[in-house]
């Protein structure tokens, strides 16, 4: 791939920016196709002068997509929305936009396409986000049958939206909400953090963003991965309560986990829905009640020749910033 041109749709997002940096470090020329070109300029210093270019792209405009695909040797689609706003709906971006990209990639003779979907994507689901992720996969297969589809679970790493948001709450809130968890009583002798005895909450298999990026790189360079779907989950299957305990342990704080029942969380989600970037949506709450883990027998990291990293290995590298000032210099 050295010297080849790779277009990354959604290259300024959380996963996309890490993909752009990886491609640049490997010597690729990178074209970042994004709606907000001005807001993506922070990516330019991540490569050599002229190595990374920004192209304004509208996923609802096929001419715009065609320009982004023209001349590319490979395409990575990391574009997607987690909440709907205006024209940026699940259908328009996660499904139809993905299909347009795949079709124009084929028409332009692009050599490889990698599509970032999500674990649990299912076109028959009653949950909008899940359904349109699934439809997006179908449209990608129809437009570019040899595309490699990657389905990551909850993605974590520097700048993530899940662990950083929860850890950030610890600075000003004495409690740590755990959606869907059962927290029956307090037992301050159970752990060094004085945690509430807890269980339950959403079940997930968090995956490190660097491992997702490595999977993208393998898919771009190994033709035997073309046309296949890979489910990407880390080595840890954890609940929302497990995540709360990990966050408190890494940040060395003694905030008290507090259960937020699903029905209350969904009510809050409806209240926050009109906001530009809500913390969670009604669809997210519905998704939390379905285990977000790799299906038995599904192709995954092992089939890509990769070993994913654990939460314990990565979380301290960026959540340590949320420790009280007096504890930041101590060893983890």
Task: List the domain boundaries for the chain.
Answer: 5-152, 163-204+236-292+308-327
What confidence tier does 195 reach under pLDDT thresholds 50, 70, 90? very low
Distance, CA of 296 to CA of 159 (rounded, Å): 30
Helix (H, G, I), strand (E, B) or coil at 39: helix
Distance, CA of 232 to CA of 295 (rounded, Å): 10
Mean pLDDT of the chain: 91
What confidence tier does 289 reach under pLDDT thresholds 50, 70, 90? very high
> How many angstroms separate the first and last alpha carbons of the chain?
39
Provide CATH code, domain 5-152.
Answer: 3.40.50.720
Distance, CA of 155 to CA of 232 (rounded, Å): 9
DSSP 310: P
**Which of 170, 144, 307 has the alpha carbon at shortest distance from 245?**
170
Distance, CA of 323 to CA of 167 (rounded, Å): 9
pLDDT of residue 330 exceeding 60, the answer is no
Distance, CA of 152 to CA of 271 (rounded, Å): 28
In the chain, pLDDT over 90 holds for what percent of residues? 79
Per-residue pLDDT tens over the stretch 125-182: 999 999 999 999 999 999 999 999 999 999 999 999 999 999 999 988 888 888 988 7
Per-residue pLDDT tens over the stretch 37-63: 999 999 999 999 999 999 999 999 999
**pLDDT score, position 278:** 85
What CA–CA distances, in Å, run from 308 to 104, 212, 232, 233?
33, 9, 9, 8
What confidence tier does 220 reach under pLDDT thresholds 50, 70, 90? very high
Write out the DSSP string of 106-161. HHTT-SEEEEE--TT--TT-SSHHHHHHHHHHHHHHHH-TT-EEEEESSEESTT-S
DSSP 97: I
Determine how many CB atoms are found less than 10 A away from the CB of residue 133: 25
Which has more confidence, 177 or 27?
27
pLDDT of residue 185 exceeding 90, the answer is no
Q: Which positions ≥6 away from 239 have C-beta within 8 Å?
A: 181, 199, 200, 201, 202, 203, 204
Q: Which helix (H) or strand (E) holds 15?
A: helix 14-25
Q: Rank 22-36, 159-173, 194-208 by mean pLDDT and report only the highest.
A: 22-36
Rounded to two decimals, the pTM is 0.91
**Which of 50, 52, 51 has the alpha carbon at shortest distance from 11?**
52
DSSP 51: T
Q: Which residue has the tokens 């660097």?
A: 210
Distance, CA of 49 to CA of 41 (rounded, Å): 13
Q: How many residues does the chain have?
A: 332
**Which of 214, 135, 179 has the alpha carbon at shortest distance from 284?**
179
Where does the chain show beta strands of DSSP type E? 5-9, 29-34, 52-56, 74-77, 112-116, 148-152, 155-156, 175-179, 181-186, 196-200, 203-204, 207-208, 229-232, 238-239, 256-260
């Amino acid at each position: 791939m050295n010297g080849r041109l790779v277009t990354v749709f959604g290259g300024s997002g959380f996963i996309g920016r890490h993909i752009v940096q990886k491609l640049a470090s490997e010597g690729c020329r990178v074209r970042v196709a994004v709606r907000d070109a001005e807001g993506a300029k922070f990516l330019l210093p991540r490569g050599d002068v002229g190595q990374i270019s920004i192209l304004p792209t509208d996923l609802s405009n096929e001419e715009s997509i065609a320009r982004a695909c023209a001349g590319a040797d490979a395409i990575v689609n990391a574009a997607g929305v987690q909440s709907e706003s205006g024209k940026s709906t699940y259908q328009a971006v996660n499904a139809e936009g993905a299909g347009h990209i795949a079709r124009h990639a084929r028409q332009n003779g692009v050599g490889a396409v990698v599509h970032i979907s999500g674990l649990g994507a299912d076109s028959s689901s009653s949950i909008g986000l899940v359904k349109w992720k699934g439809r997006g996969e179908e449209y990608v297969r129809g437009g570019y049958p040899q595309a490699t589809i990657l389905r990551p679970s909850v993605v974590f790493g520097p700048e993530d939206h899940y662990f950083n948001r929860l850890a950030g709450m610890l600075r000003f809130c004495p409690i740590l909400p755990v959606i869907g968890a059962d927290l029956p009583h307090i037992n301050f002798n159970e752990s060094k953090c004085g945690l509430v005895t807890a269980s339950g909450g959403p079940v997930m298999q968090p995956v490190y963003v660097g491992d997702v990026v490595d999977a993208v790189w393998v898919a771009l360079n190994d033709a035997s991965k073309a046309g296949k779907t890979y489910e990407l989950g880390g080595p840890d299957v954890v609940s929302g309560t497990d995540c709360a305990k990990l966050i408190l342990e890494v940040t060395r704080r003694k905030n008290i986990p507090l259960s937020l029942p699903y029905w209350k969380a969904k009510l809050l989600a409806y209240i926050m829905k009109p906001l530009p970037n809500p913390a969670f949506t009604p669809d997210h709450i519905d998704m939390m009640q379905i285990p977000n883990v790799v299906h038995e027998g599904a192709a995954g990291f092992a089939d890509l020749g990769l070993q994913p990293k654990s939460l314990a290995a990565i979380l301290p590298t960026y959540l340590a910033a949320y420790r009280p000032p007096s504890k930041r210099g101590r060893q983890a």
